[in-house]
Structure 1
Amino acid sequence: MKRELKKFESTMWLCIKLLLYILLMGTFMFIMSRENRALGVLSRTMGITFSTYCVVGLLFLNIYGRYDVGRRKSKPIIYSLSLAVLFTDVVTYIQLMIMNTITPSIYAFRLDSLGSLLLSFLVQVMIIIVFAYGGNGLFFTIHKPESCCIVTSSQESLDNIVRGILKYKKQYKIDYIMDYKDKNLFETVGKADTVFIHDVPLDVRSRIVRFCYKNKINIYFNPEIEDIVEMSAKYYLLDDVSVLNANVKAWTMEQRVMKKLLDMSLAIVLGILTSPIWIVSAIAIKAYDGGHIFFKQKRATLNGRVFEVYKFRTMKEHVENHSVTDDDDRITKPGKILRKIRMDELPQLINILKGDMSFVGPRPEMLENVRAYEDQLPEFRYRLRVKAGLTGYAQISGKYNTSPKDKLMMDMIYIEEFSILRDIQLIFQTAIVLLKSDSTEAFRTNETRKYIFKEAQETKTEEQ
């Protein structure tokens, strides 16, 4: 049975995806048509609403992610599709209300059928949940976990990559762990379906990648600065000579002006919209212990310039200042809530208006952390080529305990692939952070090591 399914698997998943998207759109059209009869018959309103839903839906699917079962867990798929559907429903609903406004007057515009809009969204979320769990269940019924080989250089590097792999136990099974210096490296790599290469010298990594490509073995490897530069490079032909050109100069004046305008307008609008949260947070913090409402701390931004970042105070006053750990008793009760929903960051809108920060950019690190990270990883200072940001790749995809190198790679990707459209995309994706339960995961004080790195005695690597 599994063999027969695998023969037609790509067609099967295409049909399932189409069915899901049709059901999501059909749910909106059907429920809204109960109070908007023009949606139930062939009409201009139906045609424009259908077109709007398709175009806007594709836009938000590109922002939040598609129905990619087998690659992502069910909950992230549910969060992504639910947010995409929510924004698509709202935009299409507003367009429908405009279409229903017959009199050309702003006073004739009404937001009707809000109950139907809410019902539509709730039904769509239920459909998404069924398809997410059902799709992943079907995928892993067809596919057993891939046999994996980890090639790395130390126990610390092994712990880092294993922590990520173990969250996807249905996708990957760790069968082999190899020191990159082991003389039997390529013989062992050839036994695996997938190879994870982590913190390995570039020359050795290149040989492993070539070997895997030759033998059709899936490859994952952590990027280095050279890889980030190559990702943003463009292909050119000098006569008949192939070259890649990486433009690593500063952003253009047009880009800086557009980014500044986006920062200022969003900071003002978001500040007004979130004003009730500011008031409630200030009252809760003051009522709890009578201390200061805001917390100020020196951070680094563009070119290493030091500024004071503003946050809602989430810790007790006059305590030692260091990165948060599990069950940190310095955090107050209001602080736990603010950190959980990430609202402690809201006062950074003041920093954006002052010009210290941008809306999107690398996370502003504590000066102590910056110095410590740069001692271990001198390239960490590259992230200071742009202003620090309220949100960004590292803030959305990373956690408080994400390693400095991984933070650097995320920030470098953002810097090298910057565009205003990418900023807007990241701003929308920030909503996912509020739904992720592990986005505020703290630094762990103890971590069990189930997988042990055994350093090879041989220092010379030979391809088998």
Structure 2
Amino acid sequence: MNNTRKLETSLVFLLKAILNLILFFVLYGIYAKSNWQLWNLSRTSGITIAAYVVMHYMFSTIYGHYDIGKRKSKPIVLSLFLNQVFTDVISVIVLSIMNTNQMKNQSFKLEQPYLLLPIIAIQFVTILIFVYGGNHLYFKIYQPEDCIIITSSQQSLNEIVRGVLKYKLQYKVNKVADYRDANLKQYILEHDTIFIYDVPVQDRTKILEYCYQNMKNVYFNPDMHDVIEKSAKHFILDDVSVYCNYSKGLTLEQRFIKRAMDIVISVIALILTSPIMLVVSIMIKLDDHGSLIFKQNRATRDGKIFSVYKFRTMRENVENYSVVEDDERVTRVGKFLRKYRLDEIPQFFNVLKGDMSVVGPRPEMLANVFNYTSVLPEFEYRLRVKAGITGHAQIAGKYNTSPKDKLILDLTYIEEYSFWLDIKLLFQTLIVLFKKDSTEAFHRGEELVFEEYQPPESVNPPVEGTE
């Protein structure tokens, strides 16, 4: 491995620190020109700075950090920009509250809101320079990681390669191997980064131990038991360490808080989006003069069947199945609505009725639930909570995300549920509007083949974790 990798953390930290200082002083310096107290040690400056730091940290946990070298530039720019917008607005509100006094403003008044637009514009340009420039510098210094994919079949190889090949600057796949290959240990030693995908848990554990022993970077796809272990709590019984997982679903208090939040958010959302719904209704009518709302039976908590409401995006009287690429059933207006998820606005009525929650697993078509469950019985565990408009799978996944990956994302949400997690996912939903591939449909049977998968000619016993 390149010795310069040892300085990777220091380089990223230095760029991140400089960027954050510039972003702060753009906001603080411009507002300080007309708020002299911000330059002095005062209660106003102290609380304003504290609010900025707390908000910046909080929104960093929601949207992500300045992680150049790990993500592509555009997602990092979007994450930092959304973080900065919310941080700036809340900081200005706090400053306005502090300025509501006998010496400044007799009543609350938003402090020079017209300054926010140029401030955010300057910050956006700064973020662009540091992200694109930072990634350019990073990949000038560091070469892509030398990778090997360890898997179990050609189909599994196709699935993992689809994701890895989107990060060609980060990873270079130089070898593909079957987990039963007799030479697997040697292959692992020859590469820096190991991708383990769709390997039986027992064998995967031994490969992980061997990689850990030899200090290799490892990526592996989670399984059902990984989600359970991740959400388990650590207990010490006398001097014995154990992990405990409570599989009881949401408590009564959690359900009450979640329902109250659903009602408040759906009412506000319907009021704010009413002009949008009016425009969308007119667009649909002008397009093909058909019905506005599409109803379809979906499954929610405990398998209860309900009718989900959506703006119609397909032609009427056509066969109903999951959307595929270049689907001729989708109308011109429907393509636009699906791209920006505007077709899902009527689902807030489902939330008000109690059939759905604002945050939760995506309500799947009944046919999909049956088909997925027949192959993956654990898929029914998603029905332990109400279906939701947004959630882990809706934000991180796509329409064509595999059933198993949807299950893992949804189970992660269910097992790690908290009020704060719902808030985070609500804010993260904004990212979906900017993701071009979030509505990527199922392909018409094409397969991505990176390298012909070769089953091992000879098979040794599974890799052991220690020599």
TM-score scaled to structure 2, two decimals? Answer: 0.95
1:212 aligns with 211
Aligned AA for 2:451? Answer: Y
Could you tell me how far apart the structure 1 residues matched to 2:45 and 2:272 are? 33
1:287 aligns with 286
Aligned AA for 1:262? Answer: M
Structure 2 residue 128 is matched with structure 1 residue 129: yes
2:461 aligns with 461
Answer with 157-166 or 326-335: which moved more: 326-335
Aligned ranges for residues 379-398 of structure 1 at < 5 Å? 379-398=378-397
Cα pair 1:32 1:120 within 8 Å, conserved? no
Aligned ranges for residues 303-318 of structure 1 at < 5 Å? 303-318=302-317
Structure 2 residue 461 is matched with structure 1 residue 452: no
Aligned AA for 1:185? Answer: L
1:459 CA drift (Å): 5.0
Cα pair 2:233 2:245 within 8 Å, conserved? yes
Could you tell me how far apart the structure 2 residues matched to 1:343 and 1:90 are? 26
Aligned ranges for residues 1-80 of structure 1 at < 5 Å? 6=5, 8-40=7-39, 42-80=41-79
Structure 2 residue 322 is matched with structure 1 residue 323: yes
Could you tell me how far apart the structure 1 residues matched to 2:17 and 2:178 are? 45
For the structure 1 residues 314 and 35, does the alpha-carbon distance in structure 2 shift closer, same or farther, using more than 3 Å as the test? farther
1:7 CA drift (Å): 5.3
1:363 aligns with 362
1:339 aligns with 338
Could you tell me how far apart the structure 2 residues matched to 1:24 and 1:351 are? 41
Aligned AA for 1:461? Answer: P
1:234 CA drift (Å): 1.4
Secondary structure in 1 matching 2:393: helix
Cα pair 2:100 2:106 within 8 Å, conserved? no
1:455 CA drift (Å): 1.7
Please list the CA deviations of residues 83-115 of structure 1 after superposition, one character each: whole Å capped at 9, or x if unmatched.
010111111122222233336999933335232
For the structure 1 residues 362 and 22, does the alpha-carbon distance in structure 2 shift closer, same or farther, using more than 3 Å as the test? same
Could you tell me how far apart the structure 1 residues matched to 2:370 and 2:448 are? 28
For the structure 1 residues 403 and 6, does the alpha-carbon distance in structure 2 shift closer, same or farther, using more than 3 Å as the test? closer
Secondary structure in 2 matching 1:108: coil
Query: Considering only aligned residues, what root-mean-square deviation do their CA atoms show, in Å?
Result: 2.0
For the structure 1 residues 41 and 463, does the alpha-carbon distance in structure 2 shift closer, same or farther, using more than 3 Å as the test? closer
Cα pair 1:32 1:117 within 8 Å, conserved? no
Cα pair 1:101 1:110 within 8 Å, conserved? yes
Query: Which stretches in structure 1 are left out of the alignment for 5+ residues?
Result: none
For the structure 1 residues 239 and 48, does the alpha-carbon distance in structure 2 shift closer, same or farther, using more than 3 Å as the test? closer
Answer with 3-12 or 357-366: which moved more: 3-12
Structure 2 residue 184 is matched with structure 1 residue 185: yes
For the structure 1 residues 358 and 205, does the alpha-carbon distance in structure 2 shift closer, same or farther, using more than 3 Å as the test? same
Answer with 356-365 or 88-97: which moved more: 88-97
Could you tell me how far apart the structure 1 residues matched to 2:228 and 2:285 are? 48
Aligned ranges for residues 59-138 of structure 1 at < 5 Å? 59-102=58-101, 108-138=107-137
Please list the CA deviations of residues 108-130 of structure 1 after superposition, one character each: whole Å capped at 9, or x if unmatched.
33335232101111111111111
Could you tell me how far apart the structure 2 residues matched to 1:268 and 1:237 are? 45
Cα pair 1:182 1:461 within 8 Å, conserved? no
Could you tell me how far apart the structure 1 residues matched to 2:2 and 2:149 are? 29
Secondary structure in 2 matching 1:251: coil
Cα pair 1:180 1:461 within 8 Å, conserved? no
1:219 CA drift (Å): 0.9
Could you tell me how far apart the structure 2 residues matched to 1:404 and 1:20 are? 40
1:34 CA drift (Å): 4.1
Could you tell me how far apart the structure 2 residues matched to 1:150 and 1:6 are? 22
1:431 CA drift (Å): 0.7
Aligned AA for 2:240? Answer: V
1:372 CA drift (Å): 0.8
Could you tell me how far apart the structure 2 residues matched to 1:104 and 1:351 are? 50
Cα pair 1:193 1:217 within 8 Å, conserved? yes
Could you tell me how far apart the structure 2 residues matched to 1:77 and 1:123 are? 17
Could you tell me how far apart the structure 2 residues matched to 1:104 and 1:38 are? 12
1:183 CA drift (Å): 1.7
Aligned AA for 1:402? Answer: T
Secondary structure in 1 matching 2:321: coil
2:253 aligns with 254
For the structure 1 residues 462 and 410, does the alpha-carbon distance in structure 2 shift closer, same or farther, using more than 3 Å as the test? closer
For the structure 1 residues 351 and 3, does the alpha-carbon distance in structure 2 shift closer, same or farther, using more than 3 Å as the test? closer
Aligned AA for 2:454? Answer: K
Q: How many residues align?
A: 463
Aligned ranges for residues 428-439 of structure 1 at < 5 Å? 428-439=427-438
1:263 aligns with 262
TM-score scaled to structure 1, two decimals? Answer: 0.95
Percent sequence identity over matched residues? 51
For the structure 1 residues 240 and 39, does the alpha-carbon distance in structure 2 shift closer, same or farther, using more than 3 Å as the test? closer
Query: Which stretches in structure 2 are left out of the alignment for 5+ residues?
Result: none
